[in-house]
Amino acid sequence: MNSRRDFLQKITGGLVLLNIPPTSSAHPEQIIETPYEGPILRVAIMGLGSYGTRVAEAMQKCKMAKLTGIISGSPSKIKDWQSKYKVAEGNCYNYENFDRIKDNPEIDAVYVITPNALHHDQVIRVAKAGKHVICEKPMAINSQQAKEMIDACNQANVKLLVGYRMHFEAKTLEIVRMRREGEMGKVMFFQGLCGFKIGDPKQWRLNKALAGGGSMMDIGIYAINGARYMVGEEPVWVTAQETKTNFEIFKEGVDETIQFQMGFPSGAVASCLSSYNIDNLDRFFITAEKGFGELQPAAGYGPMEGRTNKGKLNNPHQTHQTTQMNEMAGIIFNGNQPVIPVDGYEALKDLKIIEAIYLAVKTGKKVNL
């Protein structure tokens, strides 16, 4: 298994993918879908790797977003994608010349799906070209970079959104709804477990210069972010402990396994784990005075499995990236406000917590936020 992408696909890949509309009991001829007649978000994908491919495939089913451009350092990939997705020659760029998108009216936004350390400069260049930005998480490798990216997008008057696909996932949102509407009562505890055994030791995710860290930057961010939206508060302190068993693969600055704890203003606490060396970790659990919610898988590509004190969650599965891109088109064009934010400020909060966790590991002390 080579990456989080492989893990997320494998953890739910054995399940049957169903996309059943609420009216599935009706006869096919009775299901009438209203055509979408609004603006279409025209997107260029930067970084044509495995996840870029997943997003491109998901966008084929989007109503509100369309793949119209590609940016890559690989001429062969550009050629293949151009043929497969019918991308115009004039909408194909490399990493040296993509600033020219400034003069391309067929591209509204760029989705940056490259190694973490490249996000900062690439996002700022896209913003300066006057295009909206969607950036994969983590948005940057530190909070200072994140602030500069936010500032650049604000100055250019373009949107900066982050690929938090779980913020639009139906079962996740149902648990958040129950918590927000008081059905669970006061939240007491959250557990987030995220991990898998990483594969190729030469991949960029194990290179600190490109990844900015190890498992915490890749898979641990799901537990951090999940704790925040499940509890509904921002943590005020963290503690953390690192375990490293393979110093050859996990070199200095590349964390293998980190256990971390967070405390919230209400008194709720979170206990989480992020690992590149433990398989089958993909679970969120929240418990409160009057109820609980559980997702397992919690961050895979779906379908998710969940239950609460009311019973099994039966929200229909939809491809996460399709939903995400439709929702982001609504944010960009209509100013829609998602239940859980997906903007640069949301990503900045996660990065500040990651920095505090790394500091807690280094010092062995509680770090206040």
Active site residues: 137, 222
Structure tokens at 3: 């990456």
Token output for 221:
């961010």
Radius of gyration of the chain (CA): 20
- In the three-class reduction of DSSP (H, G, I as helix; E, B as strand; rest coil), residue 159 is classed as coil
Cα 59 to Cα 34: distance, rounded to the nearest angstrom: 19
CA 234-239-244 angle, 5° bins: 125
Sort 51 into a burial class: Cβ within 10 Å, 0-12 / 13-18 / 19+. buried
Q: Are 305 and 297 in contact (CB under 8 A)?
A: yes
Burial 135-162 (b: 16+ CB within 10 A, else e): bbbbbbbbbebbeebbebbeebebbbbb
